[in-house]
Amino acid sequence: MRNNIKVLIVTFLIIIIGLSFSGCTKNQYSKKPALLPALKLPSYGGFIPHDFDVQLKADVSNTPHEMLVYKIDPIKINEEETKKLCTIFGVDINAVSKEDQQTVIRKQGNGELWIFKKTGFYNFSTKDLDNYFPQKQVPGDEECLTLAKSFVKKYELLPDLYQYRTSIDYTTYHPSFNEDIIIDKTVTFHPIIDGKEVIGPKFGVTIGDKGKIEGVTSTLYNIIPVGIYPLKSIDEIVNELKQDKAVHWWTELDNPDADKLIIEKVAFEYYGDIGTVFDLGQLFVQPIYKLQGEIIYKNGEKGRFTVALPAIDNQFIMP
C-alpha cells in the first residue's frame, strides 16, 4: 500500500514538473514584446499595379495569428575561421593584398578571398569565374547540385540552425545573337527557419569547367529569437493592397492598369535584409505575407502575380 502511495506521489510530481516546464517553454516570449522598426521591403521597379479590386479565393482557415521574430546576429570570422577559409580555398593566410576597417583581401595564384569584417560575409573567386573559353565543359544540373552539397557538407560551411532549399542559376555567354553557351552554374542555398524561407541571406557555390569550384559567396548570418508577435489579419492585408501600400511586386506583364487581383494562395515567409557587404541592413528578420494568383487588367489581359507585405500587426510597429 505504501509503495503504491509512493508511486502515485512520484507520478503526480513528475506531471506537475512537466506541466510547469511546458508552460515556461510556451510562455518564454509571453511578455508584451517591444515595438519593432517598420519592415522595408524592396521594390523591383517596373509598373506597380494600382486601383484594383481584390477577390480572395485562397483557403485561409489555417492562417497563423502569431509568429516568431528574430534579431540578426552577424557571423564572427575570427582568426581560426579565417585559417579554415584560407585552407579551403588554397589561399595563404599571409597573402594579404589589402586590409582596412571593413575588408581583408587575400590573393594568391588563381584565387582571391574577400572577408567583410562587420557583416561576416565573404566571397571567393578564381580567374575562371564568368570566363568563357571554347573547351569549357560545365556539368549538368544534378551533378552540380551533388558537387555543391558535397562541398558545403565536407567543410561545414552552412550554419546548422537553418534547413536549406537549393536553386540553380546559369551564367551564359552569347557568341552570336541566337546562341547561348552556359559558362557557369551557381547552386544557391536558401535558408529556411520554422519551415519558412528567409528571403535575403543565402550561400552560393559557382561551378565551372569539369566541376571545378570557381566561386563561393556567403551572405548568411545567425539569428536569435526575440519574441512572438501578433500578425495582421488577411482582411487587413487585403485593405493594404487596395490602398496601394504594397511595393514588393512581381507581375508577369508590365501593365499598371490592373482591374482585379484574384488571390489563389496565401503563404508566409521571413524577410531579412542583408544591406551591403559592408553593413547589415535592418536588424530584425520579420514574417511577411506572400500572396499569389491571377491579375486581370483593364484591357482584358491576364497574367500571374506575386506580392509581399509585412505581416506584423501595426500596433507592434514603431510609429
Average pLDDT of every residue of the chain: 90
Tell me: domain 138-220, CATH 3.10.450, correct?
A: yes
For the chain, how big is the Rg over CA atoms in Å? 25
User: Residue 48's pLDDT is what?
Assistant: 87
pLDDT per position as a tens digit, 192-216 = 999 999 999 999 999 999 999 999 9
pLDDT at 127: 94
Give the range among 171-180, 248-257, 269-278 with minimum mean pLDDT.
Answer: 171-180
To the nearest whole percent, how much of the chain has pLDDT over 70? 90
Read off the C-alpha cell for 220: 548568411
Q: Which helix (H) or strand (E) is 313 found in, with range? A: none
User: What's the pLDDT tens digit per position in 18-75?
Assistant: 444 333 334 455 456 899 999 999 987 678 898 999 999 999 999 999 999 999 999 9
Query: What does the alpha-carbon distance between residue 93 and residue 238 come to, in Å, rounded to a whole number?
Result: 54
The third-level CATH classification (topology) of the domain covering 34-71+226-316 is: Lipocalin (2.40.128)
Judge if pTM exceeds 0.85.
yes
* Terminal-to-terminal C-alpha distance of the chain: 66
**DSSP E strands, 146-208:** 163-176, 179-193, 196-199, 203-207
pLDDT in tens, 115-154: 999 999 999 999 999 999 888 999 999 999 999 999 999 9
3-7, 88-92, 102-106, 200-204: segment of lowest average pLDDT: 3-7
pLDDT at 293 over 90: yes
Q: Which sequence spans correspond to the domains of the chain?
A: 34-71+226-316, 75-127, 138-220
